[in-house]
């Protein structure tokens, strides 16, 4: 089975959902015309990243009666979409969220579980922590969504793998940092490194859509990637410029790789659970 995957590394308007929605609809049309089956937008693609006190004013509900999602759900009848937004729950907690939309329906919403609140990051001050990591079914097989810091931790991709995801869809608004003599930033090197590692360790597809542009002095570096179950880089967007990166994914590669390298078959999940219970039951750790 083939999947035509598109990664949209866009720049966003900070706090201007209307302008960002227009850009989404234009890129969706471009991807549709290019034959994409699934289009992934970056973290907080509808709002911009350093929202601070804007968080509550840009928040949406991923429902068909929401005017923003109404347009996106209509568009998802032509191709599947992953969009980034601020989700407001009925009790007014605000989450950094990604939604998977297909055939006019919301198939899954992921709330960012790990909110970086250190260094230049202050997400925990403004957002509620997500409390669930679940894979979900798509017409391309089972998939999983994670947002930026979620996959700086090893456990969320591992949980998605065990929950059946063979297509890991990662989104980021990663501020570029760590300029040295290399032709890429340290933040880019790190993210590419771990994404290749997840693809290899879990013999799975790992797609990453990262935004570009600036917010005040922060730059966002783009460089969206797709790694295959062998850990090979199949596609990469340019650094620091808007791009729509299209790649044809041969999902049958999963079978070939896992025949050669049955890491999933041999994963000792009962042992993991037993040891986790022992470790977590030990108050000193």
Q: Does 192 bind other proteins (CB under 8 A)?
A: no
Return the structure tokens found at 59.
Answer: 């928040």
Which one of 72-80, 138-146, 214-222, 264-272 is the stretch in contact with other proteins (CB under 8 A)?
214-222
**By C-alpha distance, which of 23, 30, 29 is closest to 46?**
23
Q: Does 181 bind other proteins (CB under 8 A)?
A: yes
Binding mask 7-26 for other proteins (x = CB under 8 A): ----x-xxxx----------
Burial 21-59 (b: 16+ CB within 10 A, else e): bebbeebbeebeeeebbbbbbbbbbbbbbbbeebbeebb
Asked if residue 135 lies in contact with residue 160, where contact means CB atoms within 8 angstroms, the answer is yes
Q: Does 182 bind other proteins (CB under 8 A)?
A: yes
Question: CB of 214: closest distance to other proteins in angstroms?
Answer: 4
Q: Does 185 bind other proteins (CB under 8 A)?
A: yes
Question: CB of 22: closest distance to other proteins in angstroms?
Answer: 15
Q: Does 190 bind other proteins (CB under 8 A)?
A: no
Q: Does 59 bind other proteins (CB under 8 A)?
A: no
Q: Among 33, 217, 279, 281, which residue interacts with other proteins (rule: CB under 8 A)?
A: 217
Q: Does 216 bind other proteins (CB under 8 A)?
A: yes
Find the angle CA(201)-CA(133)-CA(47) to the nearest 5 degrees. 105
Q: Which is nearer to other proteins, 217 or 281 (CB)?
A: 217
**By C-alpha distance, which of 56, 4, 77 is closest to 35?**
4
Q: Among 4, 66, 74, 219, which residue interacts with other proteins (rule: CB under 8 A)?
A: 219
Q: Which is nearer to other proteins, 120 or 233 (CB)?
A: 120
Question: CB of 53: closest distance to other proteins in angstroms?
Answer: 5
- For residues 267 and 122, what is the distance between their CA atoms, to the nearest angstrom? 36
Q: Alpha helices, DSSP H only, in the chain?
A: 17-33, 55-58, 67-75, 123-126, 155-162, 186-201, 253-260, 263-266, 269-281
**By C-alpha distance, which of 36, 41, 37 is closest to 23?**
41
198 φψ region: left (φ > 0), alpha (ψ -120 to 50), beta (else) = alpha
Question: CB of 93: closest distance to other proteins in angstroms?
Answer: 19
Q: Interaction with other proteins in 133-172: which residues (CB under 8 A)?
A: none
Binding site for other proteins (CB under 8 A): 11, 13-16, 50, 52-54, 176, 179-185, 213-217, 219, 239-240
């Amino acid at each position: 089975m083939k999947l035509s995957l598109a990664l949209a590394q866009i720049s966003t308007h900070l706090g201007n959902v209307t302008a960002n929605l227009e850009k989404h609809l234009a890129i969706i049309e471009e991807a549709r015309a290019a034959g994409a089956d699934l289009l992934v937008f970056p973290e907080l693609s509808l709002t911009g990243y350093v929202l601070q006190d804007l968080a509550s004013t840009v928040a949406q509900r991923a429902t068909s009666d929401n005017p923003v999602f109404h347009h996106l759900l209509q568009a998802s009848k032509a191709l599947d979409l992953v969009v980034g937004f601020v989700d407001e729950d009925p009790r007014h907690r605000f989450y950094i969220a990604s939604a998977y939309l297909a055939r006019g329906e919301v198939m899954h919403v992921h709330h960012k579980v790990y909110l970086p609140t250190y260094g230049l990051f202050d997400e925990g001050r403004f957002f509620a922590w997500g409390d669930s990591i679940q894979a979900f079914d798509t017409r391309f097989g089972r998939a999983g969504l994670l947002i930026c810091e979620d996959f700086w931790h090893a456990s969320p991709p591992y949980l998605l793998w065990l929950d059946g995801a063979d297509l890991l869809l990662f989104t980021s608004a990663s501020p570029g940092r760590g300029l040295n003599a290399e032709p890429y930033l340290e933040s880019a090197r790190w993210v590419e490194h771990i994404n290749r590692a997840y693809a290899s360790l879990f013999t799975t597809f790992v797609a990453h859509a990262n935004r570009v542009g600036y917010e005040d002095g922060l730059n966002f570096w783009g460089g969206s990637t797709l790694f295959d179950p062998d850990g090979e880089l199949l596609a990469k967007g340019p650094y620091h410029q808007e791009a729509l990166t299209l790649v044809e994914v041969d999902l049958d590669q999963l079978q070939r790789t896992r025949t050669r390298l049955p890491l999933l078959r041999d994963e000792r999940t009962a042992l993991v659970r037993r040891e986790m219970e022992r470790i977590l039951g030990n108050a000193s750790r």
